[in-house]
Amino acid sequence: MNGSDKSGHEVEKLQPAQQNSRPWGISGMKIAGIGFRDEASLVAVLDALARAGAVGVRHLALPERKRGHPLCDQLRAHGFTLDFIADVALAATQTPTQSPVARRHYGTGSVAEAAALAALPGARLAAPRALSADRMATAALALTGDPV
């Protein structure tokens, strides 16, 4: 079951059994933004998440145009909740990383950073995006609350 939030991007509504997978913790909210090439594997995305310090984060933000990609089903099967971000929201989000490829395809410097920040307004990045070892996926962790 899907719907739209206040910012207009699509979110998958949580079922009762998924309620504890919401993106907040004791000190604030967390979400990981991801970007990946069409040929990327689940292993690549999990590697990028680990390199970004997002192990244990179960809420992922990614471009709307990736909805329907087979990797989305694999991520859901591994217990991730997906938040799809519209291209216009990605393009409107400033990122510290400036990738020419991301800029050309999405209008932003980093898909992972922009997705994370757009999904969690008012959040900050824990660090710049991380790349998987095979360079097929990126991830960035955004969080709210005071820096530690």
Sequence-distant (≥ 6) Cβ neighbours of residue 118 within 8 angstroms: 7, 9, 33, 61, 85, 89, 90, 92, 93
b vs e for 110-133, b when ≥16 Cβ sit within 10 Å of the residue's Cβ? bbbbbbbbbbbeebebbeebbbbe
Whether residue 20 lies inside any domain: the answer is no
User: What pLDDT score does 19 carry?
Assistant: 33
Whether residue 99 lies inside any domain: the answer is yes
Q: What's the rounded Cα separation, in Å, for the pair 43 and 18? A: 23
- How far from the centroid of its chain's Cα atoms is residue 138's Cα? 9
Q: What CATH number is associated with residue 114?
A: 3.30.420.180
User: What pLDDT score does 147 carry?
Assistant: 57
Whether residue 24 lies inside any domain: the answer is no
User: What pLDDT score does 148 carry?
Assistant: 53
User: What pLDDT score does 145 carry?
Assistant: 73
- Neighbouring CB atoms inside 10 A of 53's CB total 16
Sequence-distant (≥ 6) Cβ neighbours of residue 27 within 8 angstroms: 145, 146, 148
Domain that holds residue 115: 30-143
- How many domains, the chain? 1
Q: Helix or strand or coil: residue 110?
A: coil
One digit per residue, the tens of pLDDT, for the chain of length 148 reads 344 444 444 444 333 333 333 444 445 789 999 999 999 999 999 999 999 999 999 999 999 999 999 999 999 999 999 999 999 999 999 999 999 999 999 989 899 999 999 999 889 999 999 999 999 999 999 998 765 5
User: What pLDDT score does 86 carry?
Assistant: 96
